[in-house]
Structure 1
Amino acid sequence: MSLHRTELGESGQRVVFCHGLFGQGKNWTQAGKALSADHRVLLLDMPNHGRSPWTETFDYLELADLVAAELGDEPVALVGHSMGGKIAMCLALRHPELVERLAVVDVAPVTYESGREFVGYIDTMRSLDLANLERRDQAEAALRDAVPNRVVRSFLLQNLRRGDDGWHWQLNLDLLGEHMAELVGWPGDELGDATYDGPVLWVGGARSDYISDEHAAEMDRRFPRNRRVLIKDAGHWVHSEQPEVFLEVMRRFLA
């Protein structure tokens, strides 16, 4: 399996970005372009997302191995947000020789209580009548009641594509919906006592509840060299809500 990729920059350290649920590699384009003057940047579509192939199961260890296969032999700076952050953490724990440093964005190595909100989004997208859809603005209108937040609605609709055979979702909605427990989970037992001893930047949004003090013990155990940074006036989508602050934090970490 080969993942869809976008490469930016011609010299410097390699920086690889892993996006979150419902996202695509292009979500990191702004950050990638900003860093590409001094770094070689790789934006990947995670499996079951964007233009990358689909898998038959959802397993963080399998996904981490698929991303690892894209990296080559040169250690990289690995950046992952939310679902992509869990993939990145698993990759660093399983293939530490491939990761020179790790940035984990607004997620912890823990199982979260519920993915009810995500299931709601998936059910809403699956209920859209694609066969009778003529224009993208009709899809936007159809999702408005179920997804009142315009930013979230636009984020979901980036996955809607029109091909020769009509409209389709690029996301593997069936798989993601059926494996929500694994998606919000964390494969701690399968990872055993694995740790990653490289430098780790743990970035959170100050208004997000994905990172809390109670998560710190497991983060410290798995990643003993982690430094935690909270960015003010940001929620879960830290890099899009406070892009300049996030970029400055990343530049200092990469330097």
Structure 2
Amino acid sequence: MNFVTSGQGEAVLLIHGLFGNLDNLKSLGQVLETNHQVIRVDVPNHGLSEHWAHMDYPSLAKAMINLLDECQIERAHIVGHSMGGKIAMATALAYPERIISMVAADIAPVAYEPRHDIVFAALESLPLEGHTDRRFALAHLTHNGIDEATAQFLLKNLQRTETGFRWKMNLSGLKACYPHIIGWHNQGGEHRQVYQGPSLFIRGGDSNYVTGEYRNAIMTQFPSAQAKTLEGCGHWLHAQKPAIFNRIVSEFIDKQAM
């Protein structure tokens, strides 16, 4: 798994969301690295990490623990946005002894309905061979129903070749694994996992990813959970209000330091 490290001190693992890469939480990492060792990862099937045919949260959680082992880190704070937040939650639930605290940005520990069909259709229909102008790619995505800001974000996954473009991410793999990505494995019953450690859920005030109906699911799996709402921003709260988001996360982590 591809990753970069910076800073020194108690470790913090930062995990991006679907279609992202390790640069998505870079500004948060720059704030945290003053007092912490920061590890930013490319999730499998993203960025420069390996492509997986099967991708679910238990296997992704295990990959995060393997990374900590590779870095010889016994315990770490873990922070994730969207899909990355689910990976952070799954890791804390399955390996609580390895996680000092957990932060999930605009995501809940629940299964969601599909909401990326238009995105997958636009990405899959983009002609890659014979085109080397990103303006063409941007026009294609916006013409197919993607707003320009999201299109610019998605196009960070394009890489030029001698004859056109290729995707850095494993687009076909992500689509195949999409039911697992929007799903959730820790549904309940006697084998439900619980993380008793400090946890923080931050939601965008204009986002519909974390609503009141998910409160019970959060509290039963993360009984020590705290919650914050960033007003005036949506699902991309870390990009829309980075100064406030970074401050909230860094202050929470500093309070949980061992």
Instruction: Give the TM-score band, short-chain normalised.
Output: over 0.9
Q: For residues 229-244 of structure 1, what are the structure 2 equivalents within 5 Å?
A: 229-244=228-243
Q: For residues 175-254 of structure 1, what are the structure 2 equivalents within 5 Å?
A: 175-189=173-187, 192-254=191-253
Tell me the number of residue pairs that the alignment of Structure 1 and Structure 2 aligns: 250
Matched residues in 1 for 2:21 and 2:99: separation? 21
Alpha-carbon contact 2:119-2:146 (below 8 Å) kept: no
AA partner of residue 6 (structure 1) = V
Matched residues in 2 for 1:25 and 1:228: separation? 25
Structure 1 residues 176 and 148 mapped into 2: Cα distance closer, same or farther (>3 Å)? Answer: closer
| Further displaced range: 28-37 or 161-170 | 161-170
Matched residues in 1 for 2:194 and 2:82: separation? 19
Unaligned runs of 5+ in 1: none
Q: For residues 128-139 of structure 1, what are the structure 2 equivalents within 5 Å?
A: 128-139=126-137
AA partner of residue 24 (structure 1) = N
Matched residues in 1 for 2:137 and 2:112: separation? 31
Q: State the 1:98 CA deviation.
A: 1.3
Q: TM-score, normalised by structure 1?
A: 0.93
Alpha-carbon contact 1:80-1:103 (below 8 Å) kept: yes
Matched residues in 1 for 2:48 and 2:145: separation? 24
Alpha-carbon contact 1:119-1:180 (below 8 Å) kept: no
Corresponding residue for 2:104?
A: 104
Matched residues in 2 for 1:64 and 1:246: separation? 24
Q: State the 1:8 CA deviation.
A: 1.5
2:110 maps to 1:113 = no
| Further displaced range: 51-60 or 41-50 | 51-60
Matched residues in 2 for 1:160 and 1:113: separation? 27
RMSD, aligned CA: 1.6
2:68 maps to 1:71 = yes
1:22-54 superposed Cα distances (whole Å, 9 cap, x missing partner)? 100111111111221111111100010011001
Alpha-carbon contact 1:50-1:171 (below 8 Å) kept: yes
| Structure 1 runs, 4 residues or longer, greater than 6 Å off | none
Q: State the 1:144 CA deviation.
A: 2.1
Identify which of 16, 23, 26 aligns with 1:26: 23
AA partner of residue 166 (structure 2) = H
Alpha-carbon contact 1:80-1:104 (below 8 Å) kept: yes
Matched residues in 2 for 1:211 and 1:243: separation? 19
Percentage of identical aligned residues: 33
Q: TM-score, normalised by structure 2?
A: 0.92
Alpha-carbon contact 2:80-2:86 (below 8 Å) kept: yes
Matched residues in 2 for 1:137 and 1:229: separation? 38
Corresponding residue for 1:36?
A: 33
Unaligned runs of 5+ in 2: none
